[in-house]
A and B are shown apart, each in its own frame.
Chain A
Amino acid sequence: DVKVTQSSRYLVKRTGEKVFLECVQDMDHENMFWYRQDPGLGLRLIYFSYDVKMKEKGDIPEGYSVSREKKERFSLILESASTNQTSMYLCASSSPGGGPQETQYFGPGTRLLVL
């Protein structure tokens, strides 16, 4: 079974702090994604990566950066946390190509509260 793990389930941070959210997948997937999920807005793509050291902006990259130094690990960084970044953060991975490889496998999510 594919397993995607996220470093924390719940996190409370102060405004201005630098926040690291880590995601690890064990299925050797090339693609990894970071989303945030807010009520009424659904899942929105922040950043994604197709390969090690490669990253591309999603729909809402402002205020975020990412790092992918190893294939299995994709980190989301909030450079200076703000209250409007309070949200549920979800990491996902997938493998390119046809068949069921288009599906995305999600981690359990990190609920971040910025005070």
Chain B
Amino acid sequence: SQKIEQNSEALNIQEGKTATLTCNYTNYSPAYLQWYRQDPGRGPVFLLLIRENEKEKRKERLKVTFDTTLKQSLFHITASQPADSATYLCALDSTGGGNKLTFGTGTQLKVEL
């Protein structure tokens, strides 16, 4: 079955640095991969989608890469700010399609002053 791995340990970085989060997957070749942000006690919010034929996608300070050979996506936040502190989830389209997603457990990011 599909398996998605995100680093369960929190990532602590200093303000202004680039945060890099990793999403690895096995037993599947997704058509696309998405990243979501989740704040405590709230629902996830969509950030970026990258398709299997795209290597990189950018949106403001966010950048996502997708390496289908390594079965890995990297999520970068440049010039990080304390307001970027949250849990970041990656999600793959599930087998069987239909817009179902399989989510990773998320990585908590803490940006310190």
A-side interface residues toward B, CB under 8 Å? 4, 31, 33, 35, 40-43, 45, 48, 50, 58, 90, 92, 94, 96, 100-109, 111
- Whole-angstrom CA separation of A92 from B93 in the bound complex: 15
- Whole-angstrom CA separation of A1 from B93 in the bound complex: 23
| A38 nearest CB across to chain B (Å) | 10
B-side interface residues toward A, CB under 8 Å? 8, 32, 34, 41-46, 49, 89, 91, 93-94, 98-106
- Whole-angstrom CA separation of A42 from B102 in the bound complex: 10
Chain A residues closer than 8 Å to B45, beta-carbon distance: 106
- Whole-angstrom CA separation of A43 from B36 in the bound complex: 12
A102–B98 contact, CB under 8 A? no
| B53 nearest CB across to chain A (Å) | 13
| B58 nearest CB across to chain A (Å) | 15
A103–B105 contact, CB under 8 A? no
